Chain A
Amino acid sequence: MSNKRRITERTMHTLFFVVASASIVMLFMIMIFLFMEGIPIFDEVSVKDFIFGKYWYPTSEPPDFGILSLIVASLAVTLLSALISIPLGILTAIYIAEIASKKVSEIIKPMVELLAALPSVVIGFFGMVLVAPFLQNVFDIPTGLNLFNASLMLAFMSVPTICSLSEDAIHSVPNSLREASLALGATHLETILKVVLPASLSGISTAVILGMSRAIGETMVVLMVAGGAAFIPESIFDPVRPMPASIASEMAEAPFRSAHYHALFATGIVLFIFTFLFNIVADHIAYKYKQVGEATL
């Protein structure tokens, strides 16, 4: 009996370990298959020409496979959306965690969660039918589907990520630090700015990076709202074509295993590397500067 129990124990332990490694296996499979389908494009163009080539005309004869304008577009929408989402997300997090009464924060928190739950296609649709005509009228520009509109929509998709992760970080600051600061005569605001924020800085940085990683990888919003022109933008009201939009809109028409098909997978590799780096950096910060005890300010 006890022998049987021991065997069951060991079997279950091993079984759970095997299943738990599924995530890593999947991550590796994603990488392997992206590279398998993407690498063949480099028989046609060099890595340098692919990444720094300015012209993306995959269907002309001869085709041009340069994704610089797509990369620039992705970075531009991400940075512009970060300018909106970082202050908005962090201020909301501070308000929920430090200032609002319990009742108020119990209303705002679910709202932020619901904002996160809105399907991206709905936000993209909203940007198309309401925000685009509005921008077109107000700023008198040829199209409302542009870099600025896409960044605005993306900002509201990354605010919930930034907000809820920052809030967790702020919550993990020990109360004794706040009390010490208040006891020394600092106001509530001074305590937040000079004690709570520095103490939760690593967590907030992680939150910001993950929020930006979400924005750079978001597909439907940039597909529907960014305008789709594969040029390097000169103003924030230029239409752009970020990497995910290019993949999503062209894959259906790219012949199976043609150069275009491989080029789109290679674009996927570049996109994957961007988000992968974002995540590694976020993880590194979270791990290295983890709030341990009370003496890490």
Chain B
Amino acid sequence: MSVSVPSLQRRRNFLQKIVFNVFCLAALINGLALFIIVYFMIANGWKAINWTFLTQPPVDSMTKGGILPCIVGTLCLSIGAILIAMPIGVASAIYLNEYARPGRLIRVIKLGINNLAGVPSIVFGLFGLAVFVVWLKMGVSIIAGSLTLGAMTLPVMIGSTEEALRAVPDTYREASLGLGATKWQTIYRVVLPTALPGILTGTILGISRAAGETAPIMFTAAVFFTPSLPVSIFDEVMALPYHIYVLATAGTEIEATRHLQYGTALVLIFLVLGMNLIAIIYRSRLRKRMQ
């Protein structure tokens, strides 16, 4: 034994320090990636954003003008999606968390939800095309796009609602049941009101997820260009993510419209990350209050 105990100890501590720094570096790389992407979009995009950009439709075959139809379209689609995903998602989570007993049935349902969450976004696009656009004859429209996005957002909604329901202490349920309330009364009067803030956070996350998706709406709702704003749910729309894709890859003058692309990307980032940030801050406050 040539190595004395203190020096071995030193070597172990030294090794630990190095490895911990590597771990820390990995964490920093993620933060750095986020920072670079957001900074790059802001630095290049802020010049494009002005009142005209936000309130006017595109003109001159989309080489000038604004993105109002895209903003309106994206809002319609994501709100439509959540109107479909929220009721179904909340009810599914209530069943899974409050009614179902552990066993084969609940396992099959959860497997279904997990697999739905793993379906690629482009496959949702194909599904929406085959079912809503073609089979149900909705055509390329807000309603077809919202249903497709709604199906895609459903697992997110179920997951966050389940988390909110699990955070409600069992003592609340027991107190209500002990007072003679039925299960449904307990859920409706005690569990849901307590879980409501958590459910709302999940809803915000769901909207932001739907707003940023491109592939599911490519065949079901979005079009290259339409100067008019939608007036019915059976109208086709422009959408922010699809507009970025179109301008960046298939526009008439890809280089000349770069500033519009950056601007649109910045608006989309602002919308999506803004909603996420609100949800994250709100949720961390909520968790602190729960403890």
What band does the interface of chain A fall in when counting residues whose beta carbon is under 8 Å from B?
Answer: 35 or more
For A100, give its contact among B27, B151, B208 (CB under 8 Å): B27
- Contact at B34–A8, with CB atoms within 8 Å? no
Q: Give the distance in Å from the alpha carbon of A92 to the alpha carbon of B273 in the complex.
A: 21
- Contact at A9–B184, with CB atoms within 8 Å? yes
CB of A139 within 8 A of chain B?
A: no
- Contact at B88–A217, with CB atoms within 8 Å? no
Chain A residues near B212 (CB, 8 Å)?
117-122
Known A21-B109, A118-B272, A121-B244; judge A91-B27 contact (CB<8 A).
yes
CB of A280 within 8 A of chain B?
A: yes
Chain A residues near B205 (CB, 8 Å)?
117
Q: Give the distance in Å from the alpha carbon of A282 to the alpha carbon of B213 in the complex.
A: 25
- Contact at B276–A121, with CB atoms within 8 Å? no
Chain B residues near A265 (CB, 8 Å)?
126, 130
Chain A residues near B273 (CB, 8 Å)?
114, 117-118
Known A95-B23, A251-B219, A271-B122; judge A23-B92 contact (CB<8 A).
yes
Q: Which stretch (A24-32, A45-53, A58-66, A229-237) binds chain B?
A: A24-32
Q: Which of B175-230 contact A (CB under 8 A)?
A: 182-184, 205, 208-209, 211-215, 218-219
Known A88-B26, A108-B30, A122-B269; judge A210-B118 contact (CB<8 A).
yes
Chain A residue nearest to B181 in the complex (CB):
A5
- Contact at A119–B118, with CB atoms within 8 Å? no
Q: Fill in one digit per residue for B113-147: 1 if any A CB lies within 8 Å of its CB, else 0.
A: 11110111111111101110011000000000000
- Contact at A189–B16, with CB atoms within 8 Å? yes
Chain A residue nearest to B135 in the complex (CB):
A33
Chain B residues near A248 (CB, 8 Å)?
122, 125, 215, 218
- Contact at B126–A122, with CB atoms within 8 Å? no
- Contact at A125–B29, with CB atoms within 8 Å? no
- Contact at B26–A92, with CB atoms within 8 Å? yes
- Contact at B40–A159, with CB atoms within 8 Å? no
Q: Give the distance in Å from the alpha carbon of A224 to the alpha carbon of B261 in the complex.
A: 14
Q: Which stretch (B48-56, B93-101, B165-173) binds chain A?
A: B93-101
What band does the interface of chain B fall in when counting residues whose beta carbon is under 8 Å from A?
Answer: 35 or more
CB of B12 within 8 A of chain A?
A: yes
- Contact at A187–B219, with CB atoms within 8 Å? no
Chain B residue nearest to A214 in the complex (CB):
B118
CB of A129 within 8 A of chain B?
A: yes
Q: Give the distance in Å from the alpha carbon of A22 to the alpha carbon of B89 in the complex.
A: 9
- Contact at B218–A217, with CB atoms within 8 Å? no
- Contact at A12–B116, with CB atoms within 8 Å? no
CB of A55 within 8 A of chain B?
A: no
| Best-surrounded residue of A99, A163, A282 (most CB of chain B within 10 A) | A99
- Contact at B34–A24, with CB atoms within 8 Å? no
CB of A123 within 8 A of chain B?
A: yes
- Contact at B27–A95, with CB atoms within 8 Å? yes
Chain B residue nearest to A96 in the complex (CB):
B27
- Contact at B184–A224, with CB atoms within 8 Å? no
| Best-surrounded residue of B26, B40, B87, B268 (most CB of chain A within 10 A) | B26
- Contact at A91–B215, with CB atoms within 8 Å? no
Q: Give the distance in Å from the alpha carbon of A110 to the alpha carbon of B277 in the complex.
A: 8
CB of B248 within 8 A of chain A?
A: yes
Known A16-B91, A16-B95, A248-B122; judge A27-B184 contact (CB<8 A).
no
- Contact at A118–B154, with CB atoms within 8 Å? no
- Contact at A117–B23, with CB atoms within 8 Å? no
Q: Which of A116-156 contact B (CB under 8 A)?
A: 117-126, 128-130, 156
Q: Give the distance in Å from the alpha carbon of A121 to the alpha carbon of B265 in the complex.
A: 8
With contacts A23-B112, A214-B118, A272-B120 known, what are 4 further pairs, Cβ within 8 A?
A114-B277, A120-B214, A126-B41, A216-B120
Of the A-B pairs whose beta carbons lie under 8 Å apart in the complex, a sample of 17, sorted by A's number, is: A16-B98, A20-B91, A30-B127, A92-B26, A108-B27, A111-B34, A114-B276, A120-B212, A120-B215, A121-B268, A122-B212, A214-B118, A217-B120, A265-B130, A268-B122, A280-B115, A283-B115
List residues of A whose CB falls within 8 A of some B CB: 5, 8-9, 12-13, 15-17, 19-24, 26-27, 29-30, 33-34, 36-37, 87-88, 91-92, 94-96, 99-100, 106, 108, 110-115, 117-126, 128-130, 156, 159-160, 163, 187-190, 210, 213-214, 216-220, 223-224, 244, 247-248, 251-252, 256, 264-265, 268, 271-272, 275-276, 278-280, 282-283, 287
List the 6 shortest-distance A-B pairs measured between CB atoms, nearest first.
Answer: A217-B120, A119-B212, A91-B26, A24-B112, A20-B95, A16-B95
